[in-house]
Amino acid sequence: MLNKESEGYEAWVRDFEAERERRAATGDPEWERGAALDPALVRSLQRFQVGEDGDGSALIGKADRAGDPHYARAVRLFVAEERNHARMLALLLAAGGAATLEGHWSDAVFVRLRRLLGLRVELLVLMVAEVVALRYYRAVRDGAPDPLTAEVAGRILADEERHVPFHCRRLREALAPLPAPGRRAATLAWQGLLAGAGAVVAVDHGPALRHLAVTRRAFARDVLRSSGPLAGAIRGAGPAAGLREAARV
């Protein structure tokens, strides 16, 4: 049976387009309900909003050069979803009477740095952010007492759960030409980077996580725990069909 794993990227394009149509049919959350936002959560959401609003043009350029028009199209649709996350977070903050942050210099440096990377390394870096985001939005969805906040986080989380298997698949193909020890080294480095990023976010967003009833330790531990099955899938060691489940750890 053909599915997203055995087919080319046409299936991912169809999936992203179906989601876009579903989004249009559902419409936006009711922003006019307003949001009661804890100050620690405001600071945390503001930082994530800037991150979601990252520059997708470098990734699109690299995807174009990779020579698969279906993949390039899927990447454009992925970037559009990330921009929609930034838009929804900005509207959520506005509904709570809070502003968005001007981009921080560190984001500008990060964007510039990413431009220097090849598609493979860029995707590994992007996957760090995506996997941390999975745990973060789950914490917000399940722990925020404000209903509008929980709804926005739930919508973003549902997208991120599709993004992770999408990038996993591409990474598996990109690493496939490497010998097994090379693939292992790359995924181990990725897991190390992810563990570091998870710990930094746990500390940095500690007050917001406390408000969401998630300890820093539990946050960092969950991020680390989710990395094993994903690293296996990227290496091609795990069953490809399990990617979606791995994203839900």
Distance from the Cα of residue 185 to its chain's centroid: 23
In the complex with Fe ion, the residue whose CB is nearer, 107 or 210, is 107
Distance of closest approach, residue 112 Cβ to Fe ion, in angstroms: 20
**Cβ atoms of residues 80 and 17 within 8 Å:** no
Q: Is 243 exposed, middle or buried (0-12, 13-18, 19+ CB in 10 A)?
A: buried
Distance of closest approach, residue 127 Cβ to Fe ion, in angstroms: 9
In the complex with Fe ion, the residue whose CB is nearer, 74 or 183, is 74
The binding site for Fe ion (CB under 5 A) comprises 52, 82, 85, 130, 160, 163
Distance of closest approach, residue 191 Cβ to Fe ion, in angstroms: 19
In the complex with Fe ion, the residue whose CB is nearer, 16 or 183, is 16
In the complex with Fe ion, the residue whose CB is nearer, 85 or 141, is 85
In the complex with Fe ion, the residue whose CB is nearer, 151 or 160, is 160
In the complex with Fe ion, the residue whose CB is nearer, 83 or 184, is 83
**Cβ atoms of residues 160 and 48 within 8 Å:** no
Q: Closest residue (Cβ) to Fe ion? A: 163
* 31-69 burial: b if 16+ Cβ within 10 Å, else e: eeeebebbebbbbbbbbbbbbbbbbbebbeebbeebeee
Rounded Cα gap, residues 52 and 226, in angstroms: 21
Radius of gyration of the chain (CA): 18
8-state DSSP, 238: S
Closest by CA position to 100, among listed 37, 38, 46: 46
Distance of closest approach, residue 51 Cβ to Fe ion, in angstroms: 8
Distance of closest approach, residue 86 Cβ to Fe ion, in angstroms: 8
Helix, strand, coil shares of the chain as percentages rounded to 5?
A: 80, 0, 20
Distance of closest approach, residue 82 Cβ to Fe ion, in angstroms: 5
Q: Is 121 exposed, middle or buried (0-12, 13-18, 19+ CB in 10 A)?
A: middle
In the complex with Fe ion, the residue whose CB is nearer, 122 or 183, is 122
What is the residue type of 201? V
Distance of closest approach, residue 155 Cβ to Fe ion, in angstroms: 10
